[in-house]
Amino acid sequence: MPDTPKTLRIAMNGVTGRMGYRQHLVRSILALRDEGLTLADGSIVQIEPVLLGRNAEKLSQLAARHNVPDWSTDIDAVLADDTVDVYFDAQVTSRRAPAVRAAIAAGKHVYMEKPTAETLEEAIALAHLGAKSDLTIGVVHDKLYLPGLVKLRRLVDEGFFGRILSLRGEFGYWVFDGEHQTAQRPSWNYRSEDGGGITVDMFCHWNYVLEGILGRVESVTARTTTHLPERWDETGARYDATADDAAYGIFDIEGGIIAQINSSWTVRVHRDELVEFQVDGTHGSAVAGLRNCVIQPASASPKPVWNPDLPSGEPFREQWIPVPDNDDLENGFKLQWVEFLRDVVAGRPHRFDLLSAARGVQLAELGLRSSDEGRRLPVPEISL
């Protein structure tokens, strides 16, 4: 095992963006700069961010606001700096692969947002590069660290469900088109030529969520569409929305489990959370969101009878039992950062690697193809 460093310097690219700023810089790395990174033996490693980006004015303001002494617009110089240990990338997706290649070539440990690349070919090429290096390389798999999904996984491990039959997931919310009210997502998300689209964005999450909770995804049937063909961008200019804004997917999971997940930026929320997954099994069912999870064991299941002539007498929502936290469940992005940085210090691989991320890119590509061709597609196993 390598000597424990006193400090880890982390170059962070894309910190002016939504994810880079809120989840990665503020909630994760600045919090860790204040607390220090605690290792398994109780020793503490100091964390120092170096802000990277294209716009010097925005970066200097951000650095001043958060008291970060180091920032730069010169990525090559930062990658050549021996005092920098880790490169992190939360840029727009289309810029990720070249930046990650350069960071690996410079011998930096790398952590990055998903998707890792715009095509499966590039995602696999990156996974090959990562596997050949002795660097620690990780990709954000944040949903598996969410309290709701941690509880769901615990129920699977405890055998709560008996034989698992199915999962149904509902993800989405109304993203304003920007004409009368500004949109709450960046406009590149709605242009396929800029790496946008909900299938590309969400299927890479659904792949590791399904793998991490139920098992390998064996096939996909999807119908993707662009419900709103025009939108207005950050400057108020109208543009053609060329990317899909809704994807309706069915996934066959190993062991005969069927999963169905709707993903949409054109749906209004009548749910408790922005994403919810229901898992039904022979011995019980559960519904998990970002934070909460409720269960209904078989022995406490009501017996509804279909009768449209009478109002329903059952208070269905009240018939579920909340699963307690039983643990201090922190921000999911920060939890994965801590795990990744501990892996860096220990000189070992991170469990959510470029190969797992490539499977996510693969599922998105196959989802789009399934929709184009109007048929179910098998998901071939990828090996390096």
Ligand X SMILES: NC(=O)c1ccc[n+]([C@@H]2O[C@H](COP(=O)([O-])OP(=O)(O)OC[C@H]3O[C@@H](n4cnc5c(N)ncnc54)[C@H](O)[C@@H]3O)[C@@H](O)[C@H]2O)c1
Q: Which residues bind ligand X (CB under 6 A)?
A: 14, 16-20, 53-54, 90-93, 95, 113-114, 140, 142, 186, 188, 201
Of 267 and 345, which CB lies nearer to ligand X in the complex structure? 267
Handedness of CA 102, 104, 107, 112 (dihedral sign): positive
Of 142 and 244, which CB lies nearer to ligand X in the complex structure? 142
User: CA–CA separation, 379 vs 360, rounded Å?
Assistant: 11
Least Å from the CB of residue 344 to ligand X:
20
Least Å from the CB of residue 91 to ligand X:
4
Of 14 and 281, which CB lies nearer to ligand X in the complex structure? 14
Question: What are the backbone angles phi and psi of residue 363, rounded to the nearest 5°?
Answer: -65, -40
Based on the number of CB atoms within 10 Å of its own CB, is 70 exposed (0-12), middle (13-18) or buried (19 or more)?
middle
Least Å from the CB of residue 100 to ligand X:
12
Peptide bond into 324 cis (omega under 30): no
Unique residue bearing structure tokens 């997931």? 169
Least Å from the CB of residue 133 to ligand X:
22
Least Å from the CB of residue 275 to ligand X:
10
Residue nearest to ligand X (CB): 17
Of 95 and 216, which CB lies nearer to ligand X in the complex structure? 95
**By the 8 A CB rule, do 233 and 203 touch?**
no
Least Å from the CB of residue 136 to ligand X:
19
Of 161 and 206, which CB lies nearer to ligand X in the complex structure? 206
**By the 8 A CB rule, do 340 and 350 touch?**
yes
Of 155 and 357, which CB lies nearer to ligand X in the complex structure? 357
- Between the CA of residue 35 and those of 62, 224, 338, what are the distances in Å? 20, 44, 11
Give me the long-range contacts of 174-180 (CB less than 8 A, separation at least 24): 174/265, 174/266, 174/267, 174/268, 174/269, 175/245, 175/265, 175/266, 177/228, 177/230, 177/231, 177/232, 178/231, 178/232, 178/233, 178/236, 179/231, 179/232, 179/238
DSSP characters over 135-158: S-EEE--GGGGSHHHHHHHHHHHT
Of 196 and 281, which CB lies nearer to ligand X in the complex structure? 196
DSSP characters over 175-203: ---SSSS--SS-GGGG-GGGT--HHHHHH
Least Å from the CB of residue 366 to ligand X:
18
Of 186 and 349, which CB lies nearer to ligand X in the complex structure? 186
Of 54 and 238, which CB lies nearer to ligand X in the complex structure? 54
Q: Which of 137, 159, 131, 169 is nearest to 298 (CA)?
A: 159
Least Å from the CB of residue 17 to ligand X:
2
Least Å from the CB of residue 345 to ligand X:
24
